[in-house]
């Protein structure tokens, strides 16, 4: 089974405030507010850690959910975030990822 | 050849909006008069405009003014395009060119866009908000169309100075923010006064059964402010600037929700 790697899109602006992660697209200035799971994915998206590891370490420990269900939901969410160009996805590590760490 | 000399003569007007003088050069005295009338109260006398545009007038009407605006930058030159105008502007040389038909609406749009680009680099912004000065302090009333910007402006007591009922002009300074009057009017169809004052509060407008001011959490305040800021450019760096500016503004200026019934008693709560 192939693994999925996530990286933050460096073209977006991101900040957390009062526990809310806000992201603005550099392409069209659209504003997104991430829910708790999406925020976990965003914060963990270093381009090097595969999604199944993020789910195992960060999501299953946070929510009472079956790992297989959590992985399926997380992948769906990651693809949704990628469709808005918030995340970049690849079946290979994304070494060119150059930061964009949320403040 | 006096006729030829007359054809080559350029007429200029300086528009001083937000303390940023913009000179417009046109070969058409009728268009010049139109600009002078449209921007009465905002005519500057400065010989040292910060930005200068040559305006080419297209014969007849250009295409659809409702078409989407496109604003992008290539090699330091901004291109601003809508159905009814095309403009280019190079910040380094401070010069640009506008091609439009002889109407004030296209010019209004170009000016708004140019000011958003200038302000974005300075920590300021244009925002969908009415604004007014009371007792020397400026108050912003933000909201989408229908939220009550024009209504609250119309209800203002006589001693209140209206800056705008539609688009507020906010500049950052070392200790806070200043709101300036703008000629960008909404339904009130009345240009604001060309004065400025320190911003004291931002109110997010809502209409309801009673007059009420409630605090707004910082995240919600920031989200609401960002939703109302005017910005058109496809530019990562400037988007990031606008994004950061909204957070900075909310950290410095109190933001509340103002629910009001449409009568003048709401102004008893302001200031």
ipTM of the complex, rounded to two decimals: 0.82
Residues B30, B36: Cα–Cα separation, whole Å: 10
Q: Which of B120, B139, B169 is the last residue of a domain?
A: B120
Distance (Å, whole) CA A83 – CA A87: 8
Q: H or E element: which one contains A85?
A: none
Residue B188 lies in a domain: yes
Residues of B in contact with A27 (CB under 8 A): 234
Is there a domain that residue B261 lies in? Answer: yes
B49 and B116, same domain (yes or no): yes
Domain identity same for B203 and B247: yes
What is the 3-state composition of chain B as percent helix, strand, coil, each rounded to the nearest 5?
Answer: 25, 40, 35
* Domain assignment present for B3: no
| pLDDT higher at B46 or A101 | B46
Q: Same domain for B132 and B259?
A: yes
Position A96 confidence tier, pLDDT thresholds 50, 70, 90: low
Average pLDDT over chain A, rounded to an integer = 89
Q: Between B222, B226, B239, which is nearest A26 by CB?
A: B239
User: Could you tell me if B136 and B89 lie in one domain?
Assistant: no
CATH number at residue B232: 3.90.228.20
Pick the last residue of a domain from B105, B120, B135. B120
Tell me: do B169 and B235 sit in the same domain. yes
- Which pLDDT belongs to residue A61? 86
Task: Count the domains in chain B.
Answer: 2
Average pLDDT of B4-11?
Answer: 63
Closest CA to B36 of B12, B3, B17: B12
**B144 in contact with chain A, both atoms CB, cutoff 8 A:** no
Nearest by CB to residue B236, choosing from A11, A15, A17, is: A11
Subunit contact A18:B243, Cβ cutoff 8 A: no
Distance from CA of B248 to the nearest CA of A (A): 12
Tens of pLDDT, residue by residue over B64-118, are 767 789 999 999 999 999 989 999 999 999 999 999 988 888 999 999 999 999 9
The verdict on B164 and B144 lying in the same domain is yes
d(CA B17, CA B21): 6
Report how many Cβ contacts below 8 Å link chain A to chain B. Answer: 43
Considering the entire predicted model, what is its pTM?
0.89
B2 in any annotated domain: no
CA B131 from centre of chain: 11
So what CATH class is A5-86?
Answer: mainly alpha
Domain that holds residue B30: 8-120
The secondary structure of B162-202, three-state, reads: EEECCEEEEEEECCEEEEECCCCCCCCCCCCCCCEEEEEEE
B132 and B95 together in one domain? no
Residue B47 has pLDDT above 50, yes or no: yes
Decide if B203 contacts B153 (C-beta within 8 A).
Answer: no
CB contact under 8 A, B227 and A31: yes
Residues with Cβ within 8 Å of B175's Cβ and at least 6 positions away in sequence, in order, are none
pLDDT at B62: 61
Residue of B217, B227, B236 lying closest to A18 (CB–CB)? B217
């Amino acid at each position: 089974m192939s693994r999925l790697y996530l990286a933050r899109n460096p073209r977006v602006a991101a900040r957390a405030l009062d526990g809310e992660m806000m992201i603005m697209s550099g392409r069209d200035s659209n504003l997104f507010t991430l829910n708790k799971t999406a925020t976990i994915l965003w914060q963990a998206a270093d381009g090097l850690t595969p999604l199944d590891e993020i789910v195992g370490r960060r999501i299953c420990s946070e929510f009472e959910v079956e790992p297989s269900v959590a992985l399926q939901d997380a992948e769906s969410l990651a693809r949704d975030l990628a469709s808005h160009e918030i995340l970049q996805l690849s079946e290979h590590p994304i070494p060119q990822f150059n930061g964009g760490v949320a403040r | 050849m006096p006729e030829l000399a007359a054809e080559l003569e350029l007429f200029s007007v300086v528009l001083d909006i937000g303390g940023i003088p913009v000179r417009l050069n046109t070969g058409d005295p009728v268009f010049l008069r139109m600009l002078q009338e449209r921007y009465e109260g905002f005519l500057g006398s400065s010989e040292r405009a910060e930005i200068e545009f040559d305006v080419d007038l297209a014969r007849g009407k250009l295409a659809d003014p409702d078409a989407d605006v496109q604003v992008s930058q290539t090699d330091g030159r901004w291109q601003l395009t809508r159905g009814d105008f095309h403009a280019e502007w190079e910040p380094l040389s401070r010069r640009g060119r506008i091609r439009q038909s002889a109407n004030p609406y296209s010019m209004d749009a170009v000016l708004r866009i140019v000011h958003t680009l200038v302000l974005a680099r300075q920590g300021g912004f244009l925002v969908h908000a009415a604004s007014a000065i009371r007792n020397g302090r400026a108050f912003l009333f933000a909201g989408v169309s229908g939220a009550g910007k024009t209504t609250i402006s119309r209800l203002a007591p006589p001693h209140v100075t209206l800056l705008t009922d539609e688009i507020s002009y906010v500049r950052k300074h070392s200790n806070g923010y200043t709101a300036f009057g703008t000629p960008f009017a909404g339904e009130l169809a009345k240009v604001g006064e060309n004065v400025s004052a320190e911003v004291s509060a931002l109110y997010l407008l809502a209409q309801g059964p009673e007059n009420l001011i409630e605090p707004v959490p910082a995240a919600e305040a920031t989200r609401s402010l960002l939703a109302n800021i005017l910005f058109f450019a496809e530019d990562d760096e400037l988007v990031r600037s606008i994004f950061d500016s909204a957070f900075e503004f909310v950290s410095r200026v109190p933001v509340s929700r103002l629910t009001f019934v449409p009568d003048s008693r709401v102004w008893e709560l302001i200031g």
